[in-house]
Amino acid sequence: MPEGIAARLPDLSRDGLAISDLREKGMALVYVNRAFQDITGYSSDELIGRNCRFLQGSDRLQPEIQSIREAIARRADVTVTLKNYRKDGSWFWNELSLSPMSISGGEPTHYIGLMRDVTTSRVAAAQIAQSTRADMLTGVLNRYAFVEDVDILLRQGERPMLLIKIDMARFHDINEGYGYDVGDQVLMQIARRLTNTGAALVCRTGSNEFALAQPLGHADEAQTAIEMIRQSLAPRYLVAGATIGIRFAMGYVVGTQTTDAITLVRRAGAALHRSKSSAFLDICAFSAEDDRRARNRLRMTSEMQQALEHDEFDFHYQPQVDLATGTIVGAEALLRWHHGLFGIQSPDKFIGHAEDTGLILDISARGLRTVADFAARVNRDRQVPIAFSFNVSPLEFKLRDMPKFVSDVLTASGADAAWIKLELTESLMVESSAEMLSIMRHLRELGVGLSIDDFGTGYANLRYLEDFPLTEIKIDRGFVKGLAQSRSKRVIIESIIRISRELGFHVVAEGIETEVERTLLRDMDCDFGQGFLFGRPVDAARFASLA
């Protein structure tokens, strides 16, 4: 070691130390310590006299090498981490600090290199970096990394960028029906297929949602690219010894350099939303209209939240009459939103959105209390009580402890359980799980009625009529309308009534608008009727005065 240097060095039992002489041709090494030899595998004899750049092997394109060159040219300090190779050919991460030093006190004469093998920590850091970029289950990018990388691609070229969002339909059913591990397997298979399409970036954006990004030669190529992706997703999926068919909704957008990744992802998402709500999950291209709808949805959500706070929801009540006697026996509570700007809004305008956002849970919780209170008030002095029907959203059955909730509401309102009927949709019966059955049994034990709304418009398998403890069927108004002119409608209604008789259900015909319809239904032995003929839905005060 050149004199005058040793005294200025720290203890270097673990770190490699090398000294190169700037005055020698090629900055030859003049000294290496023991640790340097241990780390590199070369002996002192093999190292002295050489430029230590040979440790970089053929990895000469590392950007760090350029930093070293520049620093040395300026006689400056530099610290970099670069890949070096040991004598046996294996590589390690070398955290290298270079400092110029002078033994004469003037111009630098030597460079001192301190070397530390940081492979272990560096690899761990890389793994962490990777794991924070990748989706844990499928290994494709997560959405943060995706957005970053899409932005990089957008900045790199002038080519149009295709961004597709894909949603796997009925994922919930697969999880419920086959178990979560099977659900996971399906997601992994989807990720693999998407990766195999060769798309530049593949990402899992949400539980059952994926996104792809692909630079195109020309915007016209989007169709071909999408068709290729659609075809690779189409074949059935092999899981748990069975093959299952899966359908996908897809929305896409073609962007240019001037759009940023977030905007593209949002636009593809808006197009996906339209695809999901189309009956056949059409592949949808983003349009300005989607943007408007997405903004509307946001606005609607916040308006509905405020409407809840300001108590803007209430019920109109529509009478149900005994077709034989004409007396009012029941009423259906129909939700209304008193919108500050647009006036009274019917549920068709907002129920879907309330279900998508989960707001229906709050609306409905308050709703059932209102209806039960009203039932208690109306029936207090009546000889023959009126039964109030309340429409229950399938979401409530899934997310709420319905028996407990209903029981609490009844207790608080003082309403008799027999005064309340819950109207369910056929879609609930499709999932004929033991859990659903047990919920319904509990509700029946409380004494509330269970009615199937819009019967005949949902799932066609009538097995559920046998399984579930129902009390009533409501014939959809589609069968009632034009009854006089349609023999097939009469046959269908007669059959529904006969089945109901056999199984002990009441039958309510919905949407009766004419005397002819009423007479025909009464003659077919239908118990009850509801429709404009008997009365339109009216507010609580009006109904109370009628009843």
Quick one: 400 exposed, middle or buried, by C-beta within 10 A (0-12, 13-18, 19+)?
A: middle
Q: Which does 351 bind (CB under 5 to 8 A by kind): ligand C2E, Mg ion, none?
A: ligand C2E
When binding is defined by CB under 6 A, the residue of 135, 290, 453, 472 that contacts ligand C2E is 453
Q: Toward ligand C2E, which CB reaches closer, 427 or 438?
A: 427
Say if residues 147 and 265 touch (Cβ distance below 8 Å).
Answer: yes
Q: Which does 334 bind (CB under 5 to 8 A by kind): Mg ion, ligand C2E, none?
A: ligand C2E
Partnered with residue 79 across adjacent β-strands are 97
Specify the DSSP element, H or E, that contains 530: strand 528-530
**Closest CB 120 distance from ligand C2E, rounded Å:** 58
Q: Specify the stretch interacting with ligand C2E by CB under 6 A; choose among 59-67, 289-297, 344-352, 380-388.
A: 344-352
**DSSP state letters, 396-464:** HHHHS-HHHHHHHHHHHHT--GGGEEEEE-HHHHHS--HHHHHHHHHHHHHT-EEEEEEETSS---THH
**Closest CB 530 distance from Mg ion, rounded Å:** 8
Q: Is 456 in the site for ligand C2E (CB under 6 A)?
A: no
Give the angle 66-73-77 at the CA atoms, nearest 5°.
Answer: 80
> What's the alpha-carbon Rg for the chain, to the nearest Å?
37
Q: Is 449 in the site for ligand C2E (CB under 6 A)?
A: no
Q: Toward ligand C2E, which CB reaches closer, 138 or 364?
A: 364
Q: Which amino acid is at 129?
A: A
Q: Is 370 in the site for ligand C2E (CB under 6 A)?
A: no
* Nearest Cα to Cα of residue 44 among 14, 18, 9: 18
Q: Toward ligand C2E, which CB reaches closer, 216 or 395?
A: 395
Instruction: State how far the Cα of 180 lies from the Cα of 171, in Å rounded to an integer.
Output: 10
Q: Which of residues 301-320 bind ligand C2E (CB under 6 A)?
A: 318
Q: Toward ligand C2E, which CB reaches closer, 142 or 514?
A: 514
When binding is defined by CB under 6 A, the residue of 211, 239, 249, 351 that contacts ligand C2E is 351
Q: Is 532 in the site for ligand C2E (CB under 6 A)?
A: yes
Q: Is 144 in the site for ligand C2E (CB under 6 A)?
A: no
Q: Which does 420 bind (CB under 5 to 8 A by kind): Mg ion, ligand C2E, none?
A: none
When binding is defined by CB under 6 A, the residue of 33, 37, 56, 391 that contacts ligand C2E is 391
Q: Is 41 in the site for ligand C2E (CB under 6 A)?
A: no
Helices (H), 134-221: 143-156, 171-178, 180-196
Q: Is 393 in the site for ligand C2E (CB under 6 A)?
A: yes
Q: Specify the stretch interacting with ligand C2E by CB under 6 A; choose among 29-37, 127-135, 304-312, 343-351.
A: 343-351
Specify the DSSP element, H or E, that contains 16: strand 16-21
Name, in order, each residue with C-beta under 8 angstroms of 501's C-beta and a sequence gap of 6 or more. 525
Residues of this chain that interact with ligand C2E (CB under 6 A) are 318, 334-335, 346-348, 351, 364, 367, 391, 393, 423, 453-454, 477, 510-513, 530-532, 537
